Amino acid sequence: MILRAVHVFALIGLSSVAAAQQPVIGLITKTSTNPFFVKMREGAEAAAKTSGARLISGSGKNDGDNVGQVTALENMIAAGAKVILITPNDSKAIVPSISKARAKGILVIALDSPTDPVNASDALFATDNYRAGTLIGRYARAALGAKVARIATIDLFPGHPVGAQRHNGFLKGFGLRAPEAAVNTLGTASDVVCMADSYGDQTRGQTAMENCLQKNPDINVVYTINEPSAAGAYKALKAKGKEKSVILVSVDGGCQGVRDVASGAIAATAQQYPVKMAELGVAAGMAFIRTGKKPSGYTDTGVSLIAATKVRGVESKDVTTGIELCFGRK
């Protein structure tokens, strides 16, 4: 009986020693339910497992929840995390907490969204959202051919860097004069006949598209900030019988979005790679833990154009590849 107790205690002792030797990496996402972040977490867990690290994850409660992320950060510091990967909900408000962590010698890497200022985190691994916009802008221009463009942009909401980068990148790719990537305001152009905000959701995307169609029924190109708003825009176009005569483009590359490309609802989408962000983050974290070497600057985690129909002069991947690489329910 006593022998068995000693045996059990020895096992517990051994496993906690083993756990203590296992480095801890923390991952804090914006929310825990958005399929983009679910995929990121899965990628991070897999990468951590193969590298021999322990991953602890946390998140904000919803998009924009800074306090939840601050709490998660503090908990991870207490849990002994040496590296923290974070997709900030609020690029400015999270900075003091990140500075505290870095002052303790913890490596903090921003994934997907930058901190403001960018160098408040040790490094940034993210999609080049300007480039994502440029790809779909070039596709739309080529697909439209010689016709006169009448563009509607279904945007996020005012002041958000990702919303501005995708929008302005789209204008640039389309061949219009556009603000540079660092600008946070939306560029305008004479070919853009309507700009409306969707807040990234499907219902408001539908409302925005309906109102734009009322303003100008001859819209033939629609840029959307993400695939849910594109789905809403498509519903509005279909209600007016315009779904075949309008080129609808979007960003994200989620599985539902790629299915919409396959069905013809969306002409092309720029796919981004949350798993790549997680893998690079874990790899950089392990390098820091083993050698003390810190990553720095911005690393582009890649974006590809997914389209059902190829157009001349614009490289794109097909829908099958898109489905292989997508995030969400396949």
Judged by the rule CB under 8 A, the positions of this chain that interact with other proteins are 33-35, 38, 61-62, 157-158, 194-197, 199, 201-204, 206-208, 210-212, 214-215, 228, 231-232, 235, 239, 256, 328-329
- Which residue's CB is nearer to other proteins, number 133 or number 228? 228
- Secondary structure class of 330 (helix, strand, coil): coil
Q: What is the CA radius of gyration of the chain?
A: 22
Distance CA 298, CA 292 (A): 19
Distance CA 319, CA 39 (A): 19
Smallest distance, Å, CB 9 to other proteins?
A: 38
Smallest distance, Å, CB 18 to other proteins?
A: 33
Question: Of 179, 111, 157, 165, whose CA–CA distance to 135 is shortest?
Answer: 165
- Which residue's CB is nearer to other proteins, number 173 or number 232? 232
Q: Partners of 297 in the beta sheet?
A: 123
Distance CA 152, CA 223 (A): 6
- Which residue's CB is nearer to other proteins, number 122 or number 260? 260
- Which residue's CB is nearer to other proteins, number 74 or number 201? 201
Smallest distance, Å, CB 204 to other proteins?
A: 6
Smallest distance, Å, CB 319 to other proteins?
A: 17
Smallest distance, Å, CB 196 to other proteins?
A: 5
- Which residue's CB is nearer to other proteins, number 15 or number 62? 62
Tokens of 297: 């600057």
Smallest distance, Å, CB 13 to other proteins?
A: 37
Q: Partners of 311 in the beta sheet?
A: 314
- Which residue's CB is nearer to other proteins, number 290 or number 329? 329
Distance CA 316, CA 140 (A): 12
Interacting residues of 114 by C-beta distance below 8 A, sequence separation 6+: 88, 91, 121, 124, 126, 161, 298
